[in-house]
Structure 1
Amino acid sequence: MIYLLDTDILIFMIRGLKSARPPAQRKRALALVERCQTAQGEGESVGLSAVSVSELEFGAHLSADYSREITAVQKLLAPFDVYDYDAVACPRQYGRVRHGLERLGQPIGSMDMLIAAHALALDAILVTNNLAHFHIVDGLKATSWL
């Protein structure tokens, strides 16, 4: 089984692990990291899309201290698999996802469609804080670990 961490989950962990955060938020972030480690210990693959890496890089550039932010990102990502965006399977899924959502009149953000397509191409379960956002993607398996 592959669990693909959505960018919002990764941001939650990065922000929550910073020492200045309220103890409750830090505790939830640590619990999420533990959940990832438990899944990996049980032989499950826990990773993220190269699309999420791109979003995190952009976020680091927006921060007041790029070096500090990118170091926090790299530290968090180190134990996880990063899945390349396959040049055949992912675009095929993206086309299907976007077409379906536009037909419903319910498009989601372009990066979210790319991540959903990547999860579908990998036959992965998307771990997200935004189940309501992704539930409309046909065939996508999604869960929240919070």
Structure 2
Amino acid sequence: MLRELVLLAYNWHSMGRWILLALALAALVRCGWVWVRNEARGGIDRVLLTGFAAVMTVQGVLGLVALFGLGALGAAFPLTSILHGIVTCLAIVVSFLFLRWDDAPVRVRARNSLFSVSGALMCAVIGMSLLPGGLMRIVNV
């Protein structure tokens, strides 16, 4: 039973990157548009940013479940996976930084949200590069 749950968490963690990437691209485009055009932010901005941060958090939780579950099943705790987990935790923190600028002017919020999503994506890429197979894992589904 534990084995099936751990494998399920691992598979969802592997597939969740595509949802994360789609939300990140949509958030980057929207925040960039608001920043450049100085438009008023709408509800879609908040939904995209919150969705991105939430999916990043779910990815982190699924990764931790997979890491500790595989460790409990006897697969040990590889240093590369532990470092990947640490960088993912940093990416989660960075993905929530957009909340810090709620009272700022529109352009400042859009710019800082753009940087928040970009920074979280950079952390995710760095974290993936630490794993065996490196960035080639991105193209493998």
- Structure with more of its chain in strand, by fraction: 1
Query: What's the TM-score once normalised by structure 1's chain length?
Result: 0.31
Query: What's the TM-score once normalised by structure 2's chain length?
Result: 0.32
